[in-house]
Structure 1
Amino acid sequence: MSRYDWIEGRHYRTGEPIAVKIEDGGVAQIRVSERREAELAWLAPGLTDLQINGFRGRDFNTLPFDEAMVRDVTRDLWSEGVTSYYPTVITNAPEAIREAVATIARACRRHAEADRCIAGIHVEGPFISPEDGPRGAHDQTFVRPPEWELFRRWQEAAEGRIKIITVSPEWPEAPGFIEKCAASGVAVSIGHTKASAEQIREAVRAGARMSTHLGNGAHPVLPRHPNYIWDQLAADALSACLIADGFHLPPAFIQVALRAKGDKAMLVSDAVSLSGMPPGSYETNIGGKVVKSPEGKLYLAEQPAILAGSAQMLLWGIERLVAGGLCSLPDAWDMASIRPASFMGLPQAGGLAEGAPADLVLFRRDGDRVQLVQTYKNGEALL
C-alpha cells in the first residue's frame, strides 16, 4: 500500500478536475487541478455496504471461520470500492451467532485492515417471521421471538460491535426489544416480516429506523392493500435499503421507493459468499442447494422463485440504476456511500469534502459501466 499527499480526479458530482490533499488520513484541502479532464479518472467517496454475508467463496455464516478469513474478505472488498462495511450474520443457532460475531470482533482486534473497514456487525435474524416467504432462505429451525438477554450475550461476545439488527415486528416481544436496542445505540431494521400496519407503526414508535432490503423477504403474492411493503414505504421515519442487482426488485418498484424515500433510500449488496464466483450449482450452509445463473441471479434450487441473496456488489447496483434511467450516477453513488454512512453516523458521511476521512475511489466510465481504478482508505492506495 502507498500513501499519497495528493490525489487527483474529476469530482463525481461536478465533473470538475480537482486535487485532494491528504493529511493524517483525511481530506485536508481540495483545489482545482491543472490537469485536463480527459486525463483524469472520476473521484468519489468510498462505498459503505450495510449488508455483506460473504464474498468470493468466504462466508460469515459457515462455521467455523477464523480471523484471517475476515481480513481476507475485507481486502477483497477493496476491489469493489468498499471502504466500510457491516459483516452480516444471519439466522442460526444462538451459539453459532455468538461464535460468528466473536470471531469478527477478534479479527478487528488482530488485523488492522478489518478494524479500519468494519464499521460494525449486522445481525439479520433470528428474530424474524417463521412463515414461508417472509422468512426467505433463513432456516426455520432457528427462528425465534426477540429476546433481549440473548442479544445482550451476543453483543458482549461481539465486544459491542453489533450496530444493526434486523427484526420482524410481528412478535409480541418486538416493541420492548426494539426499544432496548435503540436505547443501546443499535440501529433496528424491519425485515423478513409479515407484520401488520399497526405492528410496523408500533416498531417505529419503539425506535426502528430502517427497512432491510425493502421489497424482498416477502410473500410471493400479497394483498393489493394493506400490506407490509406499502406500510414501510409510507413510514417517513424509516430509511430503506434496496438491492438493485436487477433480480431482487423490478425497476418500477425502485422508482416508487426512490420517490417515496428521497434521500432516505440506500443501496445494499446483500452479497453472499457466491458473489465473485462463477455460475453453477452450489451447496451452501444456509440455503442448501442454490443456483447461480450465467446472468448473475442466485436462487434456491428447489424453489427458483425464492432468491438466496445477491451475487452482485454495490458497483453493479450503481450501474443498474444508471443504465435503467432511475437516477443519475452521482445520486446512485451517494445511495451507496454518503447516505448509509450518514445513517450510521460514520465520519465517512462527509463524503468528498474537506475534513472527511480520505476514503476514496477512482473509477472510469465506459458507457453504463464503472471500471474501478483505485480504492483509498485514509489516503492509502489499497490495490
Structure 2
Amino acid sequence: MGIEQIEIQVQGRHYVSGAPVRITIREGRIASVDEFEVDGHSDALEIEQLPWVGPGFVDLQINGYAGMDFNTLPIAPQTTASVTRALWKEGVTSYFPTVITNSEIAITEAVGTIARECAEDPATGRAVAGIHLEGPFISAEDGARGAHSRLHVCAPDFSKFQRWQEAAGGRIKIVTVSPEWPEAEDFIRRCTDSGVLVSIGHTAASPEQIRRAVAAGAAMSTHFGNGAHAVLPRHPNYLWEQLAADSLWTCLIADGFHLPDAVLKVAMKVKGEQALLVSDAVHFSGMPAGTYESHIGGNVVLTPQGRLHMADQPHLLAGSVKMLVSGVHHLVSHGLCSLGEAWDMASVRPALRMGLPVGAGLTVGAPADLLLVQQAESSLRIAAVYKSGVSVAP
C-alpha cells in the first residue's frame, strides 16, 4: 500500500461537534477540515444521514483476531499482515500485537516473527505501532495471573528483556509488569530510560509497591480491574492505588462483561482524559458463536452476545472478543459519555500516550488515518477506513 499523491476528499459529521465537515487529504495527510452546508442549507435530517467521521482507532492490546494468534507458536506465515488487514475492517488503523507470558525462547520467536513481517510488508509496518509484551514479569498468584501460564512467570530481568528487544528490532514499546517483585523498581527505571512504556497489570502488589513503581516511571494500568483477584480488602488495595495515581493512564475493556458500568464510570471520572479503551482481543474475536478448544487449556464458549467463558466454569471469562467500535458503542449507548469522548478514548488518547503522530486527530497536517461510521439501530457500523490517506476498508 503506497501513499497516494492525489488529492481526495472525505465528508461526514465531525465525531465531536456533529457539524458536517469535508476533509481534504493530500499526500497521506489532512490538508484541510472545512464545515459545509448540506444542499445549501442546514437540514437536520440530511445531516443525520451523513456518517460520523473521526480518527482511526488505536488498540494497545491485540492478542489475535479471527483465528489468527500472536501466541500460538509457530506463528503462521503472514499472520501479522493478515491481522492488520482484518483489523482495518474493524476501524483499527494502528495497533500493538500483544505477546503474553511464555518461555524465553517462545517470546523471542514471537516478537521476532512480528518484527520480520513488519519489515517485509510496509503497510503492516505502518499499522503496527509497536509490540506489547504482557508478561512474564507478572504476579504468580491465582486470580492476579489471569490465564497466563504460571510455569513461565518470573521476576523482572532487564538483560532478558534486552534480548527480546533485540529480537524485536526495538519494536517492543509497552511492557506489562507487576511491581510486587523486588527487582521491579530498577527494571521499570531502565525500561523507561530506554523509551519503553511500563504498564502495571496482573499484579498482587501492595499500595506502597504501586507508589514506588509510579515513582520509578510506570505510566499506565493494563486492562484495569481485570487480571485481578476475585476478592480484595476494601482498602487499601492495588486498584484504589492505581486510580489515585495522577500520572497513571488507565486502560479499560468496555465490552459489557469485563467491567460493570459503575466501575467504568468511576474510572472515567477519576482519570478524565487519561482514560483509554482497549479491546484486549484474543484470536476468537471475529469468529462465530460456538465452543472452541483454547491453547491455554480446556474448551471455551463464545456466546452470541460476545461473551467468552470457560466451558466448565461459565463464571470465568476466557478473554475478550469485542473490538473497539463495540466498546465505543457500549459507552455511548449506556450513557457513560458522549460519542466524541468515547471515540477519543479509542483513538486520540492512546495515540497521545504512545507518542504517535495520529494523536493529532482531525487537524491539518495530521496523518490521514480516518474512520467513517454509520449509526445503526443497535450498533455502530464501519462504513469506510483510510490509512495514510488510502482507502483500506471495507
1:128 equivalent to 2:138? Answer yes
Paired residues of 1:322 and 1:368 also in contact (CA < 8 A)? no
1:152 equivalent to 2:162? Answer yes
Aligned to 2:69: 59
Deviations 1:323-351 (A, max 9, x none): 11100111000000000000000000000
Q: 1 CA distance for matches of 2:201 and 2:298?
A: 21
| Other structure's SS at 1:303 match | coil
Q: What is the percentage of aligned positions where both structures have the same residue?
A: 58
Cα drift, residue 301 of structure 1: 2.8
Q: 2 CA distance for matches of 1:330 and 1:287?
A: 40
1:164 equivalent to 2:174? Answer yes
Structure 2: which amino acid aligns with 1:89? V
How has the CA–CA distance of structure 1 residues 111 and 181 changed in structure 2, closer, same or farther, with 3 Å as cutoff?
same
Cα drift, residue 31 of structure 1: 1.6
Q: 2 CA distance for matches of 1:71 and 1:28?
A: 29
| Residue pairs, 1:235-274, within 5 angstroms | 235-274=245-284
Aligned to 1:209: 219
Which of the numbers 13, 16, 26 marks the counterpart of 1:13? 16
Deviations 1:199-230 (A, max 9, x none): 00010011000000000001111111111111
Q: 1 CA distance for matches of 2:180 and 2:255?
A: 28
Aligned to 1:332: 342
Q: 2 CA distance for matches of 1:168 and 1:291?
A: 29
Deviations 1:257-307 (A, max 9, x none): 011100000000000000011122211222542221222111223333332
Q: 2 CA distance for matches of 1:104 and 1:35?
A: 45
Paired residues of 1:61 and 1:286 also in contact (CA < 8 A)? no
Q: 2 CA distance for matches of 1:53 and 1:77?
A: 12
| Other structure's SS at 1:310 match | coil
Paired residues of 1:67 and 1:106 also in contact (CA < 8 A)? no
TM-score (norm 1): 0.97
Structure 1: give runs of 5+ residues left out of the alignment: none
Structure 2: which amino acid aligns with 1:123? L
Cα drift, residue 41 of structure 1: 1.4
Cα drift, residue 67 of structure 1: 4.5
Q: 1 CA distance for matches of 2:302 and 2:50?
A: 36
Structure 2: which amino acid aligns with 1:138? H
Paired residues of 1:137 and 1:306 also in contact (CA < 8 A)? no
Aligned to 1:32: 35
Aligned to 1:303: 313
Q: 1 CA distance for matches of 2:145 and 2:316?
A: 10
Cα drift, residue 308 of structure 1: 1.8
Cα drift, residue 52 of structure 1: 0.3
Q: 2 CA distance for matches of 1:132 and 1:172?
A: 19
Q: For structure 1, which segment, 343-352 or 294-303, has the greater mean C-alpha deviation from structure 2 after superposition? A: 294-303
Q: 2 CA distance for matches of 1:77 and 1:166?
A: 23
Cα drift, residue 28 of structure 1: 1.0
Q: 1 CA distance for matches of 2:209 and 2:94?
A: 32
Cα drift, residue 38 of structure 1: 4.3
Aligned to 2:295: 285
Which of the numbers 57, 67, 72 marks the counterpart of 1:47? 57
| Other structure's SS at 2:12 match | strand
1:80 equivalent to 2:83? Answer no
Q: 1 CA distance for matches of 2:101 and 2:22?
A: 46
| Other structure's SS at 2:78 match | helix
1:343 equivalent to 2:346? Answer no
Structure 1: which amino acid aligns with 2:225? G
Structure 2: give runs of 5+ residues left out of the alignment: 40-46
Paired residues of 1:138 and 1:287 also in contact (CA < 8 A)? no
Aligned to 1:374: 384
Cα drift, residue 45 of structure 1: 0.4
TM-score (norm 2): 0.95
Deviations 1:132-165 (A, max 9, x none): 0000011111111111111000000000000000
Between the two proteins, the alignment pairs up a number of residues equal to 383
Structure 2: which amino acid aligns with 1:24? E
